[in-house]
Amino acid sequence: MGKQYDGVRPASESSIEIDFYYANQRCRERIKLQPTPANLKRAANHRAAILDAIARGTFSYATTFPESKNAAKFSPKALGQTVQAYLESWVDGKAKTIKASTADGYRKVVNGRLVPSLGKHELADLRRVHVREMCEDMDVTNKRIANVLSVLRTALDEAVTDELIETNPIAGWTYAKNEAPKEEDDVDPFTAAEQAKILEALDGQGRNLIQFALWTGLRTSEMVGLRWEDIDLARGEVRIRRATTQAAKGAAEVPKTSSSKRMVKLLGPAREALEAQKAFTLLANAHVFQNPRTSAPWEGDQPIRKTLWQPALKRAKVRYRVPYQTRHTYASMMLSAGEHPMWVANQMGHADWGMIRRVYGRWMPDAAPDAGAKAEALYGSPDGQHLVNITPKSRMNTG
């Protein structure tokens, strides 16, 4: 048996493995040499030179092992970089390529949750156990935990792409606590009587805005971004193609999803609100709705909530709900009246009616007592029609 050397051993017929510690981590690297006695000695000398360079602070992983996966992990850029430094830099970079509202959401997660919980760790040392401990300490819903993990997972995926870390420690991993079933959802629409009280407590542009919201189901950001060029009163339609959020600082952005770009049918009360709004903003040929306190376009949902919505509900003596409930109110009214769920989904900007079914299912009318009788009479008897004889009817107009 040949001489043995510390931290050096044959790995295969054509390679030798050396073992050493760098940055408090154990490293194993292979050298493409046959494990002969002479080559084992060469490997031992190579290892000794590495240890000497580490001790003197001159060791470069990428120079010594350029093809190693550890080269990125121990690069000067990654080595010693904290999770806080990386995430703050990452979110600043993302803000240049994504919607302002999305970037604002990322920044809130980074500054409000990830940095306080994980920021002190070095990026290269972050492990799943650290993330699990953060999740266990979060007194929030599983949905909120999933949102936080989604931001972190995206950031770490990009760290892998940038070769700052070798792998994403939470790739494919999720966390969920045991939660008691929800007794009720957050859909809390306004009754007809409550709607009347709220509108009575408003006048002018404020009344027009809220009446329009109740009868179109638009998101607040969509109403803030609405311009007169988007209104087609002749056809009775509103074209939704932009949105304005608080994070965008008044700048228009594309709607939330591709399905959010849509044509919304103008029902009577919504048309009435627009006709009344003409006197205030039509001649400007710009934004449909303006802040009556400033005569300038609304900058987002917060000013509407604080200066218009909250005072109106207080004057009307209506139990407070957030402005988004006007959208829920529209959906529940349409479905309770028997409008087709797919039409409602299209009006609200959903890609399909799955969300309508999940969120608003209890507002859909139950089947009539004689449901199925027509099909039974037509196809249920031996003398009835056969399915092969059915001719398709014209395609349903989904609005």
Report the CATH number that the domain containing residue 312 is assigned in CATH.
1.10.443.10
Q: pLDDT at residue 398 above 50?
A: no
The answer to whether residue 69 is domain-embedded is: no
pTM of the model: 0.56
Residues 202 and 322 in one domain: yes
* CA dist list (Å): 127 to 1, 36, 122: 41, 39, 10
Structural domains counted in the chain: 3
pLDDT given for residue 393 in this prediction = 47
Asked whether residue 388 is domain-assigned, the answer is: no
Residues 236 and 292 in one domain: yes
Lowest-pLDDT choice from 63-67, 237-241, 278-282? 63-67
Query: Which has the minimum average pLDDT: 166-170, 263-267, 378-382?
Result: 378-382
Q: Residue 145 has which token pair?
A: 């935990």
pLDDT at 169: 95
Is 274 found in the same domain as 199?
A: yes
324 and 203, same domain (yes or no): yes
SS (H, E, C) 240-299: ECCEECCCCCCCEECCCCHHHCEEEECCHHHHHHHHHHHHHHHHHCCECCEECCCCEECC
Are 321 and 254 members of one domain? Answer: yes
Same domain membership, residue 329 and residue 263: yes
**High-pLDDT (> 90) share of the chain, %:** 52
pLDDT tens digits for 368-395?
Answer: 566 556 655 655 555 555 444 444 444 4
Domain span at 48? 8-59
> Is the same domain home to 321 and 204?
yes
Asked if 302 and 204 sit in the same domain, the reply is yes
354 in a structural domain? no
Q: pLDDT class for 187, splitting at 50, 70, 90?
A: confident
Q: Is there a single domain that holds both residue 27 and residue 92?
A: no
Q: What CATH number corresponds to the domain at position 92?
A: 1.10.150.130
